[in-house]
Amino acid sequence: MAVAGKGGSGKTSISGTMARLLARDGRKVLAIDGDSSPNLALTLGIPQDRMSSMPTLPRDLLDRSGGGAVLTKTLEEICASHSVRGPDDVTLLVMAHPQHAGTG
Amino acid sequence: MRSVIETAPAEDVCILDTEASPEHLSRGTARYADGLLAVVEPYFKSLETGRRMAALAKDLGLERVALVANKIRDERDLAAVEEFASQHGLEIAGVVPFDEQLIGAERAGVAPLDFDERSPAVEAIGKLARDFVGER
């Protein structure tokens, strides 16, 4: 599901809290921060210092040679190298860092 | 991003916290989601933004599109969102009350759930999540 809203509407508090609570219900939850000012980590309870050490997604992740865009790695591979496991075992994937705004 | 969402296993829950701008929605980043929750506050500009997002999501073919009424302080706030939703034929998936504990969590730099897991907003978000995704 996608959660959208105006800045300051509380969408990130709602996304993060939903993710944690669904994980507590026993679901495997992948949370994706698609905002160009990523701060989903905070509402998931993942400390900032763990985020700053995480590499951004590589630009060669997508193979566009066939016309469309195809992932060059499986989601498991991407998550293994570029995601953070937070409280309640929620997996967080951050699409963009602020300096890469607009490329997500 | 869309490739990542397409690849995500269907039996798991994937929550995409997406850009505030409707432009991002129209570019299709949320196209592969099953549903969209447009979080709105009870004032006109926020409701209007939510309405545009919901309309775009419906145009993109998302199956379930609904508003979430957030930071609701009283009956008048709720009535404002309900009136707007019914005028525009939109569903309200959940109502989250205004909650000082969320401000406290932000001040402390911790997750709302870690600050007070029994706060009214956290309880309401839990109900919203289970209603929208389904009980387990």
* B88 shares a domain with B22: yes
**Residue A28 near chain B (CB below 8 Å):** yes
Q: What is the CATH number for B33?
A: 3.40.50.300
Non-local CB neighbours of B44 within 8 Å, separated by 6+ positions: none
What is the complex's ipTM, to 2 decimals? 0.90
For chain A, give every domain's residue range.
11-100
Q: Following DSSP, what letter does each residue of B100-118 receive, concatenated?
A: HHHHHHHHHTS-HHHH-TT
Q: How many whole angstroms separate alpha carbon B45 and alpha carbon A6?
A: 9
Our CA-based measurement puts residue B81 at a distance from the nearest CA of chain A, in whole angstroms, of 14
Number of independent structural domains in chain B: 2
B91 and B122 fall within a common domain: no
Asked whether residue B92 falls in the same domain as residue B46, the answer is yes
- A54 touching B (Cβ < 8 Å): no
| Together in a domain, B57 and B116 | no
What pLDDT digit, counting tens, does each position of A55-69 carry? 667 666 777 776 666
In a shared domain, residues B108 and B92: no
Q: How does strand A62-63 pair with strand B13-18?
A: unpaired
Interval B49-103: pLDDT, tens: 999 999 999 988 888 999 999 999 999 999 999 999 999 999 999 999 999 999 9
- Tell whether A15 is within 8 A of chain B (Cβ): yes
Is B112–A11 a contact, with Cβ atoms under 8 angstroms apart? no
